[in-house]
Amino acid sequence: MIPVELRCHHLRDPEGIDVAAPRLSWTLTADEPVRGAGQRAFQILVADSRERLAADEGNLWDSGRVDSDAQSQAYQGAPLRSRQQCWWKVRVWPASPALRGAEGNGVDRGQDDCRPAWSAPACWRMGLLDAADWQASWIEVPFELTPEMPPGQIPASRFRRAFELAQAPQRAVLFASALGVYEVCLNGTRVGAQALAPEWTDYRRRVQYQTFDVTAFLHPGVNTIAATVCEGWYAGRIGFWKEQSQYGSFRPRFLAQLHVSVQSGGEEVISTDRRWQGSVDGPIRFAGLLDGQITDARMGGSDRDGVAWEAVRVVAGLEQVELVAQMNEPIAVVTEQAPISISRAPSGATIVDMGQNLVGWSRLRLRGKPGQIVNLRHAEMLDERGELYTAPLRCALYKGSPGPHHGTYGMMGGARQMDTFICAGRGAEVFEPRFTQHGFRYVEVTGAGAPSPSDITGCVVSSTVERAGWFECSDPTINRLMDAVRWTQLGNLQGIPLDCPQRDERLGWLGDAQVFCQASCYNAGMAAFYAKYLRDVRDAQWPNGRFPDFAPNPLGDKRAMGAPAWSDGGLIIPWTHYLHYGDRQLLADHFPAAKRHVESIATANPDFLWTRETGNNYGDHLNGDRIVQEYWRTGGSATPVDVFATTYFAHSAALLERMAGVLGLADDRQRYETLHQSIVRAFRASFVDADGRIQGDTQGGYVLALHFDLLTQPQREQAVQHLLRLLDARGGYPDTGIQTTNRMMLELTRAGRVDVAYRILNNDRIPSWRYMIDHGATTIWERWDSWSETNGFQDPSMNSFNHYAMGAVAEWIYRTIGGINPDPDAPGFAHVIIRPQPGGGITWANTRHRCIRGTIATDWRTEAGVLNLEVTIPPNTAATVHIPCRGEATVTESGLPLDKAPGVRGWRRKGEAVVVQLGSGRYRFNRRAAPDGCEGRR
Ligand code: BGC
């Protein structure tokens, strides 16, 4: 068994780690999926050079043999210095059957005296650990706003410095950041593939820096370092605010510190300071995240004569802004999309269809005349005439009309999503605007004739999280739904989880994020991403302790302060993270903030009902009352806001209790258990009547009470009946909002009514997932009726076609069709609960999830009462498998009775399933109806 996929702080070979004890982790692979393979012990070596490590010398840390099945360990060696590069490897001893409890033939018995092989080496580099390590100063180009250069029309700031190296560099490491978004070049070559660095944080408190090994970029003699910084989230217009510069400065800033060590042992440090030059006289005339980029290629060329380079200004007063290493996967172009068609709209405009709603920008190749102006406008949909449908971008909702080249939009809202390229006219040119971002499927091209499909490409931009989930089943619509969910996730991961990527909003709304969090963890490796985002959430915590509605939150006032369900994302997300990644440290870091949040609600609501300080109590956003269809009765779908809020208060207290339990904080655990019980009692007393009716009598209300375990057993049963009654009254359709739709699927399933959940999945009128997919959605719509055959587009003031909240159903699909469930008692998939529940006419499903221990897979097929289920469990992972099995049906594994099957332990019947315990390996179960056919009886 060899450890593979070594990670430091959830990342592979990261550059720039600034925690003292980075978490090291690995997965295990076996040549054959051996049954019952486990890890009994591990040893980690960490060295300060590759050579030392190769000689098995852990001069920084030799953990020695540690008897543990853990596949992660915080570094415990010699204190690490800033910039230190660490090389590491790990080996593991297999578990003996006695320890693993495995039995039977073919089980890996383990060898205690063996000398296991080491993994391949991995590495990480420390960042700059102390504020005192920074010699660099923040610099800016000291331009002023003028009538020609008003707010919102500010060109890129450029910075440069030449420096001489007497000798060839032995090692060169660059630390760089910006207040704005930046790219840096060394000797004319762009460093790194990241886009929109340093990403969005609360720049008043914290900004991320990026670390690059740039040894290969430098040479003896004169070298140049140059950077381009555009306004980004820092200085530009963001969110739905009309004003620029939420963080106080319209001038972007840059910071860099380059450490070059040479053969002779010396070191040179080149840092941003007064010696740098700056200019706003470059080809990027403007770049805003919402509005687009304007590039005048005639002004290109790094040494173009006549560029007005001037001395930069060193910016004072930014000392309180903490510099932290970026420890999440950078945003970058993750894939490219070729157009599926290029056609002419009635207006004469050329419309490029990328065939997929995506987030990023388009890259255009062309040959133009000097000064020729090309415009690229982006939108998610076409209108009924076949023209670009830009209304949901909300430009027209604000006063004034946008003029050419971004005209007077500076003080308007909306997201123009328009790029302009002014050709240099010197042969073939490529326009790729990398300092902006658009949500689009369609591009309207004007001024460039009709490009051919190979001339224009959709560049898909996302945080580069690794894919972790795959699903395919016999129903092509469900497969397309799952693809759409994945694309929606991809587009909305931009250093933070966005609500939507296109209109003037694009905020890290916690209400959407918590609803989708678990689905996102099935789809991708989200550990580092959410660790970063949760810090943003803590940074946005209000002085009274309340988590915000969205993070980062540049607003200085109390708008968006702590609404129920939204602010509670500050507990739901870290708990989901813990379930999937088992990272106790993350919980420990977050716990004090989570506690302040719950205390802030408790203090304001001594009667345990969350009725005061509910902020913008959005309730169950987009519930059925927001649907506009002739056949759809509105009214009665909205869960009363007090009921809604109190369910989340209870849930947050319960999560806090669980976190305290994990962290061994007995007093806190006691306190929040008591608080939770008090809330539950108050909820039942105030909102649940003798018939189990919950105030408001809404589907969503029953779902929340069930999902957050607020009811007695008899009340649970009543709640399920009420929910079924309300579903019946709507003809089997849900009228739940974003907070309760997926939770309803989960609760119907938990209540033994998976048949009803499948019926909902199979619904095909509005509101349903099938309706969107059948009507061309390639990402999840914000509203069930974002577009309908009868009414066309919904209200453009809130109508996104790339909103993941309703895509949370992917969680239900992974759990119920795929049957892969984390176990809260063994987080990080140390133990997995496999429980596929075939239904809904689906005859086969193939599901894989790459968890931190390796790949868990299920593959099932049903035919005439026979179910074949193949289950794959990675090494060092235990599983409980529930095989649906009614009546007298028999179950075998690889043709053997269960009590003879190697690696299968302790099988028993439980309700309508046979339940078995397994260790790692691949197992082929077969369930066959008894000869008398009673299996089908019910
Ligand atoms: C966002 C939502 C968000 C909501 C708060 C909307 O504008 O797009 O997804 O949760 O505001 O109600």
- Weakest mean pLDDT among 85-89, 164-168, 923-927: 164-168
Under 8 Å between Cβ of 46 and 6 = no
For ligand 1, atom 8: residue with the closest CA: 499
Tokens of 808: 């949370």
Give pLDDT, residue 406: 36
- Which atom of ligand 1 approaches the CA of 549 most closely? 5
Amino acid 98: pLDDT: 39
pLDDT band at 88, cuts 50/70/90? very high
Q: What pLDDT, in 10s, does the model give residues 790-838?
A: 999 999 989 999 999 999 999 999 999 999 999 999 999 999 999 999 9
Contact partners, residue 178, CB within 8 Å, separation at least 6 = 197, 198, 227, 229, 232, 234, 252, 253, 254, 255
231 is catalytic: no
Round to whole Å and give the CA distance between 369 and 533: 46
Parallel, antiparallel or unpaired: strands 878-884 and 831-834: parallel
Using CA atoms of 620, 787, 560, 551 in order, give the dihedral in degrees to the nearest 10. 100
Q: What would the pLDDT profile of 709-765 be if each residue is shown by its tens digit? A: 999 999 999 999 999 999 999 999 999 999 999 999 999 999 999 999 999 999 999
pLDDT of residue 44: 98
Nearest CA to ligand 1 atom 2: 499
Give per-residue pLDDT as tens, 111-127: 555 789 999 999 999 99
Q: What is the CA(617)–ligand 1 centre distance, in A?
A: 12
List ligand 1's pocket residues with C-beta within 6 A. 499-500, 505, 509, 511-512, 618, 621, 798, 805
206-210, 229-233, 300-304, 803-807: range with lowest mean pLDDT: 300-304
Strand partners, 733: none
**Centre of ligand 1 from the C-alpha of residue 569, in Å:** 14
Q: Quick check: is 505 catalytic?
A: yes
Name the active-site residue from 329, 657, 747, 782: 782
Choose the catalytic residue: 505, 613, 657, 893: 505
Q: Which of 499, 559, 625 to mutate to test the pocket of ligand 1 (most atoms within 8 A of CB)?
A: 499
* pLDDT confidence tier of residue 557, bands split at 50, 70 and 90: low
Pocket residue to mutate for ligand 1, from 503, 504, 621, most atoms within 8 A of Cβ: 621
Span from the CA of 499 to the centroid of ligand 1 (angstroms): 7
Encoded tokens for 616: 């913008």
Omega before residue 552 within 30° of 0, cis: yes
Atom index in ligand 1 nearest the CA of residue 621 equals 12
Q: What is the pLDDT of residue 241?
A: 82
Share of the chain above pLDDT 90, in %: 86
Q: What is the pTM of this model?
A: 0.96
Q: How far is the CA of 620 from the centre of ligand 1 (A)?
A: 11
What percentage of the chain has pLDDT greater than the value 70? 94
Which of 502, 509, 623, 641 gets mutated to test ligand 1 (max ligand atoms within 8 A of its CB)?
509
Residue 305: the pLDDT is 58
Low-confidence winner among 98-107, 172-181, 256-265, 405-414 (lowest mean pLDDT): 98-107
DSSP letters of 93-133?
Answer: EEPPHHHHT--STTB----TT--PPPPPPEEEEE---SGGG
Closest listed residue to residue 335, CA positions, set 482, 486, 529, 227: 486
CA-nearest residue for atom 9, ligand 1, is: 499
pLDDT digits (tens, 9 = 90+) for 765-779: 999 999 999 999 999
Atom 12, ligand 1: residue with shortest CA distance: 618
Taking the centre of ligand 1 as the mean of its atom positions, its distance from the CA of residue 367, in whole angstroms, is: 43
How much is the pLDDT for 101? 38
Lowest mean pLDDT among 23-27, 453-457, 520-524, 906-910: 906-910
CA of 509 to the centre of ligand 1 (A): 7
Q: Is the dihedral of CA 683, 685, 690, 694 positive or negative?
A: negative
User: Using one digit for the tens of pLDDT, what is the confidence trace for 611-621?
Assistant: 999 999 999 99
Mean pLDDT of the chain: 93
Nearest alpha-carbon partner for 826 in 70, 103, 9, 40? 70
- Nearest C-alpha to atom 1 of ligand 1 is from which residue? 499
Lowest mean pLDDT among 60-74, 243-257, 406-420, 510-524: 406-420
Give the residue ranges of DSSP H helices in 605-712. Answer: 641-662, 666-687, 699-707
How many residues does the structure list for the chain? 938
Q: How far apart are CA 711 and CA 692, in angstroms?
A: 9
CA distances from 678 to 391, 597, 654, 655, 887 (A): 48, 17, 11, 15, 42
Helices (H) and strands (E) counted in the chain, each on its own, are 16, 48
pLDDT at 530 over 90: yes
CA of 560 to the centre of ligand 1 (A): 11
